[in-house]
Structure 1
Amino acid sequence: MNLLSRLSKYIFRSWYALLLSVTCMLVSTYLQVYIPKISGAIIKNILEAGDFRALLYLVMQSIALTCLLGVFSFLQRYANSYFSQKVVYDIRNDLYKAVQRQSFAFFDRTETGQIMSRATTDIDRIRGFLGFHITSLIGSIFLLIGIMLSMLSISLVLTLFCLSITPLLTVVFMFFGKRIRDVVHKAREQYGTLTSVLWENVSGVRTIRSLATEDYERQKFHNLNKAYYQSMLQAVRLRSAFMPISTLLSGSITAFIYWYGGLQVIGNQLTIDQLFVFSTYAAMLTQPISRIGDVWSSYQRMAAAGERIFEIIDAMPDIKDKPGAIEMPPIKGHVIFENVSFGYDNNHLILKNVSFEVKPGETVALLGPTGSGKSTIIRLIPRFYDPTHGRILIDGYDIRDVKVESLRRQIGIVSQEIFLFNATIKENIAFGKPNATMDEIINAAKIAKAYDFIMELPQGFNTIVGEGGITLSGGQKQRIAIARALLMNPRILILDDSTSSVDVNTEYEIQQALSTLLKDRTTFIITQRISTIRNADKIIVLNNGEIVEEGTHEELIRKRGLYYKIYQSLFEAQKEVLPPKSKEEDMKIIVGGAIKYGSMAKGTAISCQ
């Protein structure tokens, strides 16, 4: 389906505004062609009849028609603006819906800047074409026809001369128009880059200053700013060169008209008023020609923008409800992975034949080196991705057989990368449950140990957190995120290193608060905290996408496998902050195994991030 066919769906929704715009434009075009004739009649009356009453009538008629032209021009512009804004309003809504329904794989392969560009610059190009060039093309064609017919009715020779010059005018307009548009387009891209760099500098000002790279960033901004400045100067030079050339051509046409037309007047083949009217039409001739020349290049830009927009709108999400998908009943939390393999592409599997079972209410800690597949497992549970092979069952239901929304409503996630909206703390906590009462919000904040610091803020729960929660510390943001997840009262809870940015005391408070809550929930935890790992009902150890060990803390310590090595590394790093009892117990286990602190062989330290 071509672009115009796609746009027609949106255009027909606002056909009445387009019809009004075209009607007003046709009336305006007729008045533009007719008003010079009134002016000619006024001159003729002054020179020949000398009738004051007729002169007054013609002047009043000219004023009335000019006012009428203004009214119809206003209506045409208003209707046209309404039409174009309504069309892009509908397209923008459809684009947003399309982005919202896309799966995570779409965002993995699509840059954020590309999505933003389609939602802003590309949308604006469609608005510009629909809001000006469609009716401008129709109006310019009718105006050109009206001017030519009126000129022919006055002088065939002068009209043919003007027609012979028209191709030259068209070439000049298109030559300069294309170059000016190209330079301006380049300048806009440079301005976008300049804006992005400025945004990055403002957002990353702490990093820039901590690394003392201010001079480098200033020079980078200076170079980009200079390139933008030079492009804008080039556009000014082209416009400045175009104006005198255009004026020279127009002046030459006018001079020839007055010379040849003057001879016609002297020879009584033309009258003064006819010469005046003809010269007026000749001056009007350049306007529709230049507009018609602009339409094609504008359409090309709009077509490219439209293709990029509909590329997203037409993109089918990888994760969607299958035909006949059912609502997920209230979850108990029984999770089974059956021979699950997964890869972001077919050439490289992140998970390989992973199978395990988690009973309702169990807490499972996922452990393993970087890239072992821990995060992939927790992304598969809420169906952010589908397994390449195998299946995932929750309470006996294959998660591909239930509606995605009904599944995710019952799963709470606190990720390592916390995102808070530029809204109040209350709104951020209640984001997953907009109808939550204030008591529910406060209770969730208390459980997450966020209540005390919230009440210390100037406006409490009504405090605006800023873009990305910039006014809060990392630990505070994570406690807000935990409160947000708890408010949803999920049956399955996923904590992806959710206490990594809090101090030991705060983490201990959160763990104490969560200990009772987690008893009735199936919980998956990715963490480096020993206290969290020890308290898990089950520990699953992964390496290279495969489960290499599974069991409780005590069972895995005695196996002296990969978990044993990872735990040694973590214990050595965290022994200063472990509770005395925990430290003593672990020391007995490790020493009993004939391995003391620091006795790991060189090169065997393993990160579990």
Structure 2
Amino acid sequence: MSSPSEADSTDNDDPLLLSEWADLDEETHRFGERVVQLHQRSVRVYDGAGVLLVTVPLADIKSARTEPLVGGARLELTLKNGTLLPLVECTARVSARVSELARGIEQLAQGEELAVKLTHQKTRCERCNRLLPEPDSSCPACVQRAAIFRRILSYLGPYRFQAVSVIGGSLLIAAINTFATPKLTEGITDKVLGPRSGLSLGEGSVQLGLYVGGMLLALLLGAFLQWYKNYNASFLSANIAKDLRASIYRALEHLQLSFFDKRQMGAIISRVTQDTDRVWGFLVDGVPYLLSGTLTLVGGLVSGLLLSWKLTLAILLPVPLVAVLMSLIWKPMASKYHKVGQKWGRLHTQLNESLNGIRVVKAFVREDGEWDKFRSRNSELAQSGLIADRWWFRSETFVTVLVGLAPLINWGFGGYLVLHSELTLGKLMAMQILLWQVYGPLQWFGQVNQWFSRAMAGAERVFEVIDSQSETYDKPGAVALETVEGEIRFENVRFGYDKSNPVLKGIDLTVKPGELIGLVGRSGAGKSTTVNLLCRFYEADGGCVRLDGIDLRDIELSSLRRHIGIVLQEPFLFNGTIAENIAYGKPEASFEEIIEAARAACAHEFIVQKPDAYDTNVGEKGGKLSGGEKQRISIARAILHNPKILILDEATSSVDVETEKKIQQAIGNLTAGRTTFAIAHRLSTLRNADRLVVIDKGRIAELGTHAELMEKQGIFYNLVETQNQTSKALAETI
């Protein structure tokens, strides 16, 4: 971004708040730099040389917006006198940033606090300007693979003995193949079978037996080492896979909810399964082969030079070409396998959504539509895999041709040396064996490159999750609360899932211990967001929430949540028994406590009517129970948790009227002595609340008892009347 002169940007009378650049010249519609500055009392536009072009006082601005254009956007101001003023134009590359600037201009023009995104998702690599596979992800072409490789190797740390056994076994096998077998072959050819051996029949038979016995011993030793290596490799395979899955799952558990808000669940599951498999596969198979192959290559070269340096150098002529080819395909291979990982994530997402929503699919007869989407994702995966594999096989073909030149050189030039008595036949045969000790690893290093490319792509995605910012569980100096009174204070709390579009714009509220607060408002007003901040599912952007006078950020997160019980609008049960689900928050609870909680939630009666009563399996997500049954079990779970603060987020939305009355009675007994926040779909259920808090447009618009707000005939009154009229019209229709 360019900036104007220091004097202009540091105007003490009108301080600079925000600056953004546009990349089009609105007169020529060609690339040209414009800088838009938002000051405390004005908006200014400069050209690339820092010359001031336009100044608009904020007091004259009514609104600001970006008008979409083909391939870009235009920032426009609407003045209070009705004039439409185009400021700058930009390409789609920076249009999101200019849109945020427009939002900031409008916020200040309307007297609101400035709340815009100061950071934006990266869609291109800052180093090479390539499009990133996912916003804010790493660039496959620029990632530091050496650092990732070292990090992958760290997973071998807890299993050093097994790792050394696998690597040591591979190296010993390579040593046998490189030194013992060629030397024994040379001895048999020159000292026993050769015409110049000078041995009698008996002596030759004995010598032949000794050499063959040596070969047999080498074979048995190699077989034992192979078994020993594979035995330890299987141990490494199981445990490294376990550790990788544990690391990413543990990281996922502690990530902020905002991480899951931005990603599809199927893609996350793909990282736990598909990507971890690639990493441990390379550790267990690729790393040992890389080491043994390197030793085999070096040993083969040394042995060859000792046998015949002329023939060895001749055989090595194709090696530089193989090395150049491998270096050329390295980065393209990594990029292509990274795309394969993305396609796996999309396929998992589609599969996850289709199966979880199978009832909706069948209800709307959308089996064919879901099949088309799955087929499309599956075809994309197959195509990306095909492209990557064909790229590899094409490269492998060239490597095979180059490697195939080595035997021709060996027999041609080596035979010439034998005919001219510069090399014995035994040494030529030994060189033929050593030939594959040199070119075998070179050829298979391409396979290791493929493993490595897959592993690096998978590791990048795995470590992206592990390195993501987790919830702040233990802030330095955070306190653990053994008991709480239950006083809650919201002090000028501001929050937005999108920071430039705040949901809460300054909430001030004090809740006394044991008070029942009903949160009311239109959909999207911020009711659920308010209780989410109380649970610290998200951190407030401004202001603070206090429990018994202590900022929630200064309380250990686990300690805070132990004192909060919550019943969500959409009840979620785990695949297990009813008793296990009720006791989820208190696993050590006795059976009597579980029954008592179920009675309080009006759930005991329907539970005992089931064949297995409390041992009834609820199925995945509680699929074997009705919506009302699931809701009552989730209420029982919160009751058994015995919290000092209770949150009921549409807790009775999934039950019929008769059951709702029972639950309301149970909740009435339950809330005694507890600070309770209740969000209800049917406003009539909040009649018994001590106070109702009406949230509108991110602020508290009304506060009082049910009777007081009805008498006021404001927002709450209108909501109740609208709901009553809707219910009446629906009843007449039925």
Indicate whether the TM-score tops 0.5: yes
Q: Give distance in 1, aligned partners of 2:457 and 2:382.
A: 26
SS at match of 2:700: strand
Counterpart of 2:307? 154
Q: Give distance in 1, aligned partners of 2:271 and 2:427.
A: 52
Contact 1:102 1:319 in 2 (8 A): no
Provide Cα deviations, 1:389-438, integer angstroms capped at 9, x if missing partner.
33333333333332221111011000112222222222221111111111
Match of 1:544 among 677, 682, 697: 697
Counterpart of 2:31? none
Change (3 A) 1:217 1:123: closer
Gaps of 5+ in 1: 579-596, 598-609
Stretch moving more, 531-540 or 230-239: 230-239
Change (3 A) 1:478 1:402: same
Provide Cα deviations, 1:533-579, integer angstroms capped at 9, x if missing partner.
1122221111111112112111111111111111112223446999x
Stretch moving more, 329-338 or 299-308: 299-308
Structure whose residues are more often strand by fraction: 2
1:182-201 to 2 correspondence within 5 Å? 189-201=342-354
Deviation, 1:440, is 1.4
Match of 1:450 among 585, 603, 620: 603
Change (3 A) 1:165 1:354: closer
SS at match of 2:317: helix
Amino acid paired to 2:160: W
1:555 equivalent to 2:701? Answer: no
Q: Give distance in 2, aligned partners of 1:230 and 1:311.
A: 25
1:19 equivalent to 2:164? Answer: yes
Query: How many percent of aligned residue pairs carry the same amino acid?
Result: 38
1:377 equivalent to 2:530? Answer: yes
Counterpart of 1:28? 173
Q: Give distance in 2, aligned partners of 1:307 and 1:517.
A: 49
SS at match of 1:14: helix
Gaps of 5+ in 2: 1-143
Contact 1:334 1:358 in 2 (8 A): yes
Q: Give distance in 1, aligned partners of 2:338 and 2:149.
A: 23
1:342 equivalent to 2:495? Answer: yes
Structure whose residues are more often helix by fraction: 1
Stretch moving more, 517-526 or 320-329: 320-329
Change (3 A) 1:358 1:172: closer
Provide Cα deviations, 1:134-191, integer angstroms capped at 9, x if missing partner.
3333222221111122222333332122100223344566778888877666556445
Change (3 A) 1:330 1:575: farther
Structure having greater relative contact order (Cα 8 Å, sep ≥ 6):
1
Deviation, 1:236, is 7.2
1:43-442 to 2 correspondence within 5 Å? 43-44=189-190, 45-47=192-194, 48=197, 49=199, 50=201, 51-80=204-233, 82-83=235-236, 86=239, 89-170=242-323, 189-229=342-382, 249-295=402-448, 298-299=451-452, 302-303=455-456, 305-317=458-470, 319-442=472-595
Stretch moving more, 226-235 or 56-65: 226-235
Q: Give distance in 1, aligned partners of 2:721 and 2:236.
A: 68
Change (3 A) 1:426 1:135: same
SS at match of 2:692: strand
Q: Give distance in 1, aligned partners of 2:354 and 2:549.
A: 50
Deviation, 1:42, is 3.4
Change (3 A) 1:521 1:182: closer
Amino acid paired to 1:98: A
- CA RMSD across the alignment: 3.3
SS at match of 1:519: coil
Amino acid paired to 1:27: L
Stretch moving more, 250-259 or 406-415: 250-259
Contact 2:334 2:453 in 1 (8 A): no
Stretch moving more, 134-143 or 60-69: 134-143
Amino acid paired to 1:35: T
Stretch moving more, 180-189 or 18-27: 180-189
Stretch moving more, 538-547 or 31-40: 31-40
Counterpart of 1:600? none
Stretch moving more, 359-368 or 194-203: 194-203
Match of 1:42 among 164, 168, 188: 188
Contact 1:541 1:550 in 2 (8 A): yes
Q: Give distance in 1, aligned partners of 2:267 and 2:392.
A: 31
Q: Give distance in 1, aligned partners of 2:512 and 2:666.
A: 22
Deviation, 1:369, is 0.9
Contact 1:414 1:498 in 2 (8 A): yes
Deviation, 1:516, is 1.7
Counterpart of 1:484? 637
Contact 1:319 1:384 in 2 (8 A): no
Match of 2:724 among 571, 581, 602: 571
Q: Give distance in 2, aligned partners of 1:46 and 1:183.
A: 53
Deviation, 1:345, is 4.7
Contact 2:269 2:348 in 1 (8 A): no
Change (3 A) 1:233 1:348: closer
1:522-537 to 2 correspondence within 5 Å? 522-537=675-690
Contact 2:276 2:458 in 1 (8 A): yes
SS at match of 2:316: helix
Deviation, 1:130, is 2.5
Amino acid paired to 1:96: Y
Deviation, 1:470, is 2.2
Deviation, 1:513, is 2.4
Deviation, 1:7, is 5.0
SS at match of 2:671: helix
Amino acid paired to 1:37: K
Stretch moving more, 48-57 or 82-91: 82-91
Stretch moving more, 374-383 or 49-58: 49-58
Contact 1:35 1:66 in 2 (8 A): no
Contact 1:173 1:290 in 2 (8 A): no
Stretch moving more, 242-251 or 480-489: 242-251
Change (3 A) 1:52 1:484: same
SS at match of 1:153: helix
